């Protein structure tokens, strides 16, 4: 019997070369895609520490501006609230007076009704809107002079009450706008401070150390300039004193009591300045808090306002308004107690203490302290009183 032929297919040898080629192509494709992805969206380079310092300083400054806007809106809101309350109270009083007059007129009408005279008068007095009757000559002719005066008073009071209601409504609208501005400024402050904290939180320990070193250098340079100003002021004071002595020693100048023209006013200012600085020194170490006016924390203009209040001088709330108070003073002529303002936008202020130094509430995260007036770019200075 012949052997049966096998139906199994012959085993074929598997070639691995194409698979290897496919794997290589796949890897190359992945590598190419990765390269293209990296090329299309390169990682943003981390800012240098100097750039971080500039950004943080800028954010704090922007927060300072927003703080002054907040203070301004808060003051306006408080003033408008007082005005609205006063108007509402006045409107209520006028309404009471109007109702009293209405009752008086009602009494006249009731009396006429009882006597049976002038029946239409009752309708006139008791109507909600008697205006249509005011021009009726026949009715007015039948009224006594006392009744006519009561009617005239009623009309006047109606107009005044309506005017007060309109004024109160407008004041409420203004108050609503002030409160909206207050909320916006508050949000702006919080946003800027959050950005600044976020930048600082991303720094490594080494970067924080470098940032601290940059701050120390900045403070040292500011102190150097303050010391130079102190030397210049001391020299100018000495020269002025010598000149006064020489003038007093000249023949025919009398006892020299007139050599110090303006001394009385200067002495009065110095007395106030001592109180201002005594108050300011007592606040050293308390935290800066935007929008704060004491007693446990302050912002920059809140501190200056409170310090001068201790000397009996009332200053407005914001730096923008405080800079308009008193007399402008050159930096070389600064005296203790003067206010020094900073930046072109006048967003910061400190109290000059002498020798190129000031006491101020610097920024969020810092406490009230003494510092060189040259730590920030000076806008100008004023002598408040």
Q: Which residues are catalytic?
A: 300, 348, 360
DSSP bridge pairs for 293: 298
CA dist 1 and 17 (Å) reads: 45
Query: Tokens 């509402």, residue?
Result: 88
Tokens for 90, please give them: 């006045």
- Pair 182, 174: CB distance under 8 Å: no
Q: Where are the alpha helices (DSSP H) in the chain?
A: 17-40, 49-115, 119-126, 137-142, 145-201, 205-249, 263-282, 300-309, 319-322
Gyration radius from the chain CA atoms: 40
Tokens for 196, please give them: 């600044």
- Pair 355, 328: CB distance under 8 Å: no
Tokens for 66, please give them: 């927003």
Tokens for 78, please give them: 């408080």
Distances (CA, A) of 41 to 29, 34, 35, 45, 46: 18, 11, 10, 12, 15
Question: ω into residue 295 within 30 of 0, thus cis?
Answer: yes
- Pair 331, 160: CB distance under 8 Å: no
Sign of the CA dihedral running 70, 74, 80, 84: positive
CA dist 301 and 338 (Å) reads: 13
Q: Using CB atoms within 10 A of its CB, is residue 160 exposed (0-12), middle (13-18) or buried (19+)?
A: middle
């Amino acid at each position: 019997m012949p052997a049966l032929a096998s139906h199994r297919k012959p085993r074929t040898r598997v070639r691995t070369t194409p698979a290897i080629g496919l794997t290589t192509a796949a890897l190359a494709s992945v590598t190419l895609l990765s390269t293209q992805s990296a090329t299309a969206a390169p990682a943003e380079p981390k800012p240098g520490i100097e750039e971080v310092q500039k950004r943080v300083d800028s954010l704090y400054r922007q927060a300072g501006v927003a703080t002054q806007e907040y203070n301004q809106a808060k003051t306006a809101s408080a003033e408008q609230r007082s005005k609205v309350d006063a108007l509402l109270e006045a409107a209520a009083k006028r309404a009471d007076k109007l109702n009293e007059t209405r009752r008086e007129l009602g009494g006249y009408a009731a009396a006429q009704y009882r006597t049976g005279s002038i029946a239409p008068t009752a309708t006139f007095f008791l109507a909600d809107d008697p205006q249509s009757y005011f021009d009726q000559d026949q009715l007015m002719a039948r009224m006594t002079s006392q009744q006519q005066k009561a009617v005239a008073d009623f009309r006047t009071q109606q107009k005044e009450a309506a005017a007060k209601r309109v004024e109160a409504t407008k004041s409420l609208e203004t108050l609503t706008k002030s409160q909206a501005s207050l909320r916006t400024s508050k949000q702006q402050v919080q946003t800027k401070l959050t950005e600044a904290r976020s930048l600082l939180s991303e720094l490594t320990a080494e970067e924080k150390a470098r940032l601290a070193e940059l701050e120390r250098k900045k403070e040292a340079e500011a102190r150097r300039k303050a010391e130079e100003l102190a030397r210049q002021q001391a020299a100018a004071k000495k020269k002025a004193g010598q000149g006064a002595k020489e003038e007093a020693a000249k023949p025919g100048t009398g006892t020299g009591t007139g050599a110090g023209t303006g001394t009385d006013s200067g002495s009065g200012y110095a007395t106030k300045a001592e109180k201002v600085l005594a108050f300011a020194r007592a606040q050293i170490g308390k935290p800066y808090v935007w929008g704060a006016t004491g007693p446990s924390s302050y912002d920059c203009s809140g501190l200056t306002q409170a310090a001068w209040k201790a000397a009996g001088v009332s200053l407005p709330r914001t730096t923008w308004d405080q800079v308009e108070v008193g007399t402008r003073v050159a930096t070389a002529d600064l005296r203790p107690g003067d206010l020094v303002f900073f930046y072109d936008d006048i967003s910061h202020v400190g109290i000059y203490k002498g020798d190129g130094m000031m006491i101020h509430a610097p920024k969020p995260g810092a406490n009230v302290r003494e510092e060189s007036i040259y730590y920030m770019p000076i806008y100008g200075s004023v002598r408040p009183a």
